[in-house]
Amino acid sequence: MIEKLQAIVGATHVKIDADSLANWACDASRQYAPAATAIVFPASTEEVQAIVKLANLEKIALVPSGGRTGLSAGAVAAHGEVVVSFDRMNKVLEYLPLDHMVRVQAGVLTGQLQQFAIEQGLYYPVNFASAGSSHIGGNIATNAGGIKVIRYGMTRDWVLGLTVVTGNGDVLHLNKGMTKNATGYDLRHLFIGAEGTLGFITEAEIRLERQPRDLRVMVLGMPDFNSIMHVLAAFQASVVRQTN
């Protein structure tokens, strides 16, 4: 099996040493002991597809691995699985300035996408403490929110399209970057937040936003939870007025 994986991605991109198995077979939850069989590092959708087809033939379970910053144990390989790491799939593939859309591989870091947006005079607002290590694919798989979720929404709100490899090795191109698509089922939303259980996200079309002005941080102390909800309602009303 190891030789067959090496034939797909190259001999240097399959790891079976103890340190690699311990590092790539778990996430930040640390709730289960990692026990993977191997770590494989594909570089393209086609290589991911080949890995999935091999796993079906060999009856091997696969676990996706991004930045491994999650706390839900969704990236833990505790039962001899092969871990599919997206560390090498870290490229910005295409930028469409008129659409304010960028197509990236799943292993692009959140901070990397944020910096790319800034370089285009735009903004990617999904942000959290792990922006320097979390992967876009993982953010999509968990529908990550972050510290600006009240203003800008969840990761789901910024995904215009996905390329995924299903469990039987089919490659699907979902929504293809369209803002409006009334041609049928929008299957990308099944994969967003599915934690990799429906297949591997390999590429994503992401919508960018114009850069905000005069960003400020305000800290409020509330006596009870109900007071927080009143402040939230006032804040949301103010944001709506300023953006209309």
CATH of the domain at 127: 3.30.465.10
On whether residue 55 sits in a domain, the answer given is yes
Question: In terms of domains, do 97 and 204 share one?
Answer: yes
Domain limit, last residue, from 33, 61, 85: 85
Whether residue 66 sits in one domain with residue 18: yes
Q: Give 172-191 pLDDT, tens digit per residue.
A: 999 988 888 888 889 999 99
Query: Residue 20 belongs to what domain range?
Result: 2-85
Give a yes or no: residue 233 inside a domain. Answer: no
Give the pLDDT confidence score for residue 177 in this predicted structure: 85
Mean pLDDT of the chain: 91
Please tell me the pTM assigned to this model. Answer: 0.88
Q: Is residue 96's pLDDT more than 60?
A: yes
The CATH number that applies at residue 48 is: 3.30.43.10
Which residue, of 41, 58, 85, is where some domain finishes?
A: 85
| 138 shares a domain with 35 | no
Number of domains in the chain: 2
Domain boundary among 57, 85, 113: 85
Residues contacting residue 71 through CB under 8 Å, at least 6 positions apart? 27, 28, 29
Structure confidence at residue 239 (pLDDT): 66
Q: Do the domain assignments include residue 240?
A: no
Pair 25, 56 in one domain? yes
> Average pLDDT of 83-108?
96
Instruction: Answer whether residue 5 shows pLDDT above 80.
Output: yes
Q: Is residue 232 part of a domain?
A: no
Question: Does residue 119 lie within any of the structural domains?
Answer: yes
- Domain membership flag for residue 41: yes
Are residue 127 and residue 178 in the same domain, yes or no?
yes
